[in-house]
Amino acid sequence: MTPRSETRDRIVEEAARLFHERGYSATGISTILDRAGVNSGSLYHFFPGKEALLIGVLERHLAQLEPVILRPAESTTEDPLERVFALLEGYRRGLLVSGFARGCPVGNLSLELGDRVPRVRSLIDEYFSRWVTRVSSWLAQAEDRLPVGLDRNGVARLVLAVMEGALMQARTARDLAPYDHAVAQLRAHFRLLEDYADREIAEGLPAEEAAVGRPESESARSVAEAEAAEPSGWRYW
């Protein structure tokens, strides 16, 4: 279905690197071509245009999510909660070895391209979804160490948010400290959740409060009506 060739792979690989480091708009086709050692017509043999190349790049990121990002984190430790932090450590190292040039490639493209190209948006969305789903599955594996009824998907969304938002700060600061501090706070949160779960059992904390950290009401927060809504404050649990 998707045509394969060594040339095509080289193009996608260089495009991925450049889109990551410089952004999509700031990367010229000719630069990609130079780096890949390919000449202009060849790119258009494989891709109808730059946008299609971007889609090829995102498909590559999607294909590499499992083997390059998730599995290595998983194989670092048996402890499912530690896998979360192994994952975050991986991004930290990426920042470090690239001299703060690379963060999360998909995160960067996400903000640059927003929701302008539907296929691009949906690929990024799927990337994030798979990432979150996997983190969520680790949380499920540690189910008995976490509060009953914990919004595991919400926690996974939080982890992704912290990773993306903390990488952004570290890159701008050219200093890992903001990343490390934010991740340390996330770890504190995990520890507090574990403590809470301990006391749930030991002290019989109320069951009905167990839906830890869910938004107040999803339906009440629909896009349509929320525009008029006042910031109503958020219940704790």
Binding of residue 17 to DNA (CB under 7 A):
no
Tell me the closest approach of the beta carbon of residue 139 to a copy of itself, in angstroms: 11
Which parts of 73-92 interact with a copy of itself (CB under 8 A)?
Answer: 76, 82, 85-86, 89-90, 92
Among the listed residues 185, 198, 201, 207, the single contact to a copy of itself using CB under 8 A: 185
Separation between Cα atoms, residue 228 and residue 222, nearest integer Å = 11
For the chain, what percentages of helix, strand and coil (3-state, to nearest 5) are there?
A: 75, 0, 25
Tell me the closest approach of the beta carbon of residue 149 to a copy of itself, in angstroms: 12
Of the pair 5, 222, the CB lying nearest DNA is at 5
φ/ψ of residue 190, rounded to 5? -60, -45
Binding of residue 158 to a copy of itself (CB under 8 A):
yes
Binding of residue 210 to a copy of itself (CB under 8 A):
no
Which parts of 32-91 interact with DNA (CB under 7 A)?
Answer: 38-46, 48-51
Tell me the closest approach of the beta carbon of residue 231 to a copy of itself, in angstroms: 4
DSSP 27: S
Distances (CA, A) of 190 to 16, 62, 211, 220: 34, 28, 16, 28
Residue whose structure tokens are 């060849």? 42
Binding of residue 203 to a copy of itself (CB under 8 A):
no
Among the listed residues 66, 125, 143, 198, the single contact to a copy of itself using CB under 8 A: 125
Q: Is 157 left (phi over 0), alpha (psi -120 to 50) or beta?
A: alpha
Which parts of 175-204 interact with DNA (CB under 7 A)?
Answer: none
Q: What does 72 interact with, of a copy of itself, DNA, none (CB < 5 to 8 A by kind)?
A: none
Among the listed residues 19, 142, 151, 197, the single contact to a copy of itself using CB under 8 A: 151
Interior/surface letters 30-66, b for 16+ CB within 10 angstroms, e for the rest: eebbebbebeeebbeebbeebeebbbbbbebbeeebe
Region of 27-35, 87-95, 148-156, 229-237 interacting with DNA (CB under 7 A): 27-35
CB 24 within 8 A of CB 54: yes
Among the listed residues 21, 31, 189, 209, the single contact to DNA using CB under 7 A: 31
Q: What does 18 interact with, of DNA, a copy of itself, none (CB < 5 to 8 A by kind)?
A: none
Binding of residue 154 to a copy of itself (CB under 8 A):
yes
Give DSSP secondary structure letters for 96-164: HHTTT--S-HHHHHHHHHTTSSHHHHHHHHHHHHHHHHHHHHHHHHTGGGS-TT--HHHHHHHHHHHHH
Residues of this chain that bind DNA (CB under 7 A): 3, 5-8, 27-31, 38-46, 48-51
